[in-house]
Amino acid sequence: MSDLNAQLRITELFFSLQGETSRIGFPTVFIRLTGCPLRCVYCDTSYAFTGGKNYTLAEILKQVAQYTPRYVTVTGGEPLAQKNCLALLKALCDAGYHVSLETSGALDISAVDARVMRVVDIKTPASGEVDKNRWDNIELLTPQDEIKFVLCDENDYNWARQILTQHQLADKCEVLFSPAQGALSATQLADWILRDHLPVRFQLQLHKILWNNEAGH
């Protein structure tokens, strides 16, 4: 049983359509935790680095329940940077939601509740944070998890293709390739994937298409 008085710092909690992953398009409650130890060049949620407000687990669960969702996504910032994130994930699973975690891949995912779909971002050279990748996480992935690459240029693509092969990622779980908005043409990335017959899912961020680049919609 989670300590419902445990606190987390939250930047925002909102109801929207899932914009990424294999659950794209599903109505989802998003819980965006405050704080992140990384500074990726393409970050679209830098407003979550600081600020926010403290909420207890009980208060968070009450807010989530108001939307009667099937899906809940815990994101950031980097949610695992807050120790009570693990308790939040467990509590959400215990409440019967389909829970996903969006993490940078820089922190240990081993203690995340096994019921959670872990979406692990592998940082590319152009992100500026490639040295932060925690490669041990790859061995922890299961078929219900997903790996995401955000690609800024052709060098990123070639690097990601090498990592894909080296670690046999497509045999572990679904792999997502996305173009960094404003940096790489979506059409170009799609053409490369088709040319090289990569076993990956191409994705665009649905929320940016629908709501004109508003991350927190």
Does residue 193 belong to any structural domain of this protein? yes
The answer to whether residue 217 is domain-embedded is no
Q: What digits encode the pLDDT tens for the residues 154-186?
A: 999 999 999 999 999 999 999 999 999 889 999
pLDDT digits (tens, 9 = 90+) for 111-139: 999 999 999 999 999 999 999 999 999 99
| Single pTM value for the model | 0.93
* Cβ-count burial 170-201 (b if 16+ within 10 Å, e if not): eebbbbbbbbbeeebeeeebeebbeeeebebb
Residue 152: band (very low, low, confident or very high) from pLDDT cuts 50, 70, 90: very high
Q: Is the pLDDT of residue 217 over 60?
A: no
Question: Is 158 domain-assigned?
Answer: yes
Assess if residue 119 is contained within a domain: yes
In a domain, 150, yes or no: yes
On whether residue 2 sits in a domain, the answer given is no
Task: Tell me how many domains the chain contains.
Answer: 1
1 falls within a domain: no
pLDDT recorded at residue 38: 87
Tell me, yes or no, whether 45 lies in a domain: yes
Residues ≥6 apart with Cβ < 8 Å to 213: 44, 181
Q: How many CB atoms lie within 10 A of CB 149?
A: 22
pLDDT tens figures, 60-114: 999 999 999 999 999 998 999 999 999 999 999 999 999 999 999 999 999 999 9
CATH code at position 22 = 3.20.20.70
Question: Which structure tokens are listed for 191?
Answer: 């053409």
Question: What type of residue is 121?
Answer: D
- Report d(CA 105, CA 35) in Å as an integer: 15
The H-or-E segment that residue 120 falls in is: strand 117-121
The pLDDT mean for the chain works out to: 93
Residue 21's domain comprises: 7-211
Residue 47 or residue 118, greater confidence: 118
How far is the C-alpha of 144 from the C-alpha of 67, rounded, in Å? 25
